[in-house]
Amino acid sequence: MDKITFPKDFTWGAACASYQVEGAVGEDSRGETIWDRYSHIRDGRIYNLEDGDTACDFYHRYPEDIGLMKELNIHSLRYSIAWSRIFPEGKGSVNQKGIDFYRKLTETLLENGIKPCATLYHWDLPQALQDLGGWCNRDMAGYYGEYAETMFRALGDLVPEWITINETYIHTRNGYYLGLHAPGLRDFSASLLAGHNLMRAHGEGVKRYRAMNSGGKIGISNNYGTAYPLTGSKEDQAAAARQEGWRRRWFTDPLFGKGYPQDMAEWYKSQGVTLPKIHDGDMELISEPMDFLGVNYYHPDYMYYDPKFWPNQSSSKLTGLPYTECNWEIEPRGLYDLLTFLDRDYNHPVIKITENGSAWRDYINREGKIADDNRIDYLYRHLLACRKAIDDGVKLNAYYAWSLTDNIEWSEATSLRFGLIYLDYATQKRIIKESGRWYGNLCRTNSFDMV
Ligand code: IFM
């Protein structure tokens, strides 16, 4: 059987995020986050009125999860730090217990031969900062800078790779525009302003990291979904271009020194959107050179002209492809196209896939196994796309499966399972899924069988 082999030194990882796994929301002086506030309203905005109060209890059970990672030979864990464990009020005095937790977690990874990759912000903003306007407040970039520097000092000797911000597009779209995530706003102009400040915060993080000369690497994780026109009509083509303009170029061009895409800025003005005010130095800060671009990819966007959807006038539709439990179509060519577009448009950056994966209705079968062949199939097809992109010159050097374990999928809470490891939330028992075993074999051999 032919084998698909990856370059030597390729990193095979798995990812998770603080709010989604940690639980222990009231422990060790952790401050309230926007997700605690949002989920505790219990008006039906979260599946089954759930919350992340306990989640996977990773705060206490991380040694077990790290043990399972070791069993699977997973090389690296991408985890995130809860800002509110470090600064319960978002700024001011440091909570040493928070630092101690992340030091212990990071040391345990290293003791098990697992490379730490730490994300500084994965959506769980301290509520105290939301009370000051959240990401719409320009001062946030400075508060973030203080927090980031505190973490670089606390963990810089242990963590070789840092991610500043997770998914500016999804966080601002769902949290500030569509009201689907915390903090639950519905204001497109506010979402662009929040995005501008998140990208300024990213720049602050990169700048402060460089100033410390610690020798590690730093980048950002963006969420992309390659946009294709639903039909060949001019209207659908323009709708797809606008989606690409918003989801990809708006949140990537500035990072690489290209400024905001002019065509999109003009479009937004024509739709009555208030664009973020750009102050002197903002664009330079945002484009502080980083070491890699983190790519989170799940599905394509097949777009059609939809005049009712303000302001982009473009919506997506399912096209008949197989889809996952999230109703996300499975289209590996979207990942290949995305990787090659990013390589072409941003001067061949080093790329890490910092998330890719699928949710399915997993269950424990009569043999006590989770036989999730659909997840293996998804991984297989997307990894073939990665290999092809590498063959075509893309500088891809890491792949992180989303996710290590099933976890709290934000507003969908426990209803969507993305893990390589199954979580029985009632007992907190973990069971490695068949996909986890398949992935483990890939981590061990750096290859998989072509079928
Ligand atoms: O669970 C999320 C993650 O927190 C951010 N990226 C997408 C994942 C699946 O929706």
Q: Is-catalytic flag, 107?
A: no
The one catalytic residue among 22, 167, 244, 329: 167
Q: How far apart are CA 361 and CA 355, in angstroms?
A: 20
What integer pLDDT is reported at residue 108 of this predicted model?
99
CA–centroid distance, 409 to ligand 1, in Å, is: 7
Decide whether any atom of ligand 1 lies within 6 Å of the 236 Cβ.
no
- Res 237: pLDDT: 98
pLDDT of residue 174: 98
pLDDT tens-digit series, residues 94-153 = 999 999 999 999 999 999 999 999 999 999 999 999 999 999 999 999 999 999 999 999
The string of DSSP letters for 431-449 reads EE-HHHHHHHHHHHHSEEE
What does the DSSP assignment read for 339-362? HHHHHHHTTS-EEEEEE-------
**Strands 161-166, 115-119: parallel, antiparallel or unpaired by DSSP?**
parallel
Residue 319 alpha carbon to ligand 1 centre in Å: 23
For the stretch 203-245, pLDDT in tens is 999 999 999 998 999 999 999 999 999 999 999 999 999 999 9
What confidence category does residue 255 fall into, taking pLDDT thresholds of 50, 70 and 90? very high
Going by alpha carbons, the residue nearest to atom 1 of ligand 1 is 409
Nearest CA to ligand 1 atom 10: 409
Kind and range of the H or E element at 162? strand 161-166
Give the model confidence (pLDDT) of 39-86 as tens digits: 999 999 999 999 999 999 999 999 999 999 999 999 999 999 999 999
Separation of CA 407 and ligand 1 centre (Å): 10
What is the structure's pLDDT at 278?
A: 98
Confidence at residue 367, expressed as pLDDT on a 0 to 100 scale? 97
Amino acid identity, position 195: G
- From 355, 378, 415, mutation site for ligand 1 pocket: most ligand atoms within 8 A of C-beta: 355
Of the candidates 104, 103, 106, 81, the residue with the CA atom closest to the CA atom of residue 30: 81
Tell which residue, 383, 380, 328, 331, has the closest CA to residue 358: 328
Q: Residue 57 corresponds to which amino acid? A: D
Asked if residue 350 lies in contact with residue 395, where contact means CB atoms within 8 angstroms, the answer is yes
- Which of 33, 123, 220, 402 gets mutated to test ligand 1 (max ligand atoms within 8 A of its CB)? 402
- Asked if residue 183 has pLDDT above 90, the reply is yes
- Nearest ligand 1 atom to the CA of 166 is 5
**CA-nearest residue, atom 4 of ligand 1:** 17
Report the candidate in 143, 14, 138 with the shortest Cα–Cα distance to residue 83.
143
- pLDDT tens-digit profile of 282-320? 999 999 999 999 999 999 999 999 999 999 999 999 999
User: Does residue 167 have an active-site annotation?
Assistant: yes
Which letter does DSSP use for residue 209 in this model? Answer: H
Whether the CB of 167 sits within 6 Å of ligand 1: yes
Q: What is the pLDDT of residues 375-434, one digit of tens each?
A: 999 999 999 999 999 999 999 999 999 999 999 999 999 999 999 999 999 999 999 999
Confidence of residue 1 (pLDDT cuts 50, 70, 90): confident
Distance 408 CA to ligand 1 centre (A): 10
Whether this prediction's pTM lies above 0.85 is answered by: yes
Which region holds residue 322: left if phi is over 0, alpha if psi is between -120 and 50, else beta?
Answer: beta
Cα distance from N-terminal residue to C-terminal residue, the chain: 7
Give me ligand 1 centre to Cα 169, in Å: 12
* CB of 409 closer than 6 angstroms to any ligand 1 atom: yes
- For the Cβ of 17 lying below 6 angstroms from any atom of ligand 1, the answer is yes
Contact 11, 451 (CB under 8 A): no
Q: Which of 78, 409, 417 to mutate to test the pocket of ligand 1 (most atoms within 8 A of CB)?
A: 409
* Band (157; pLDDT cuts 50, 70, 90): very high
Q: Three-state DSSP class for 301?
A: strand
Q: Check if 355 has its Cβ closer than 6 Å to any atom of ligand 1.
A: yes
φ, ψ (nearest 5 deg) of residue 272: 85, 15
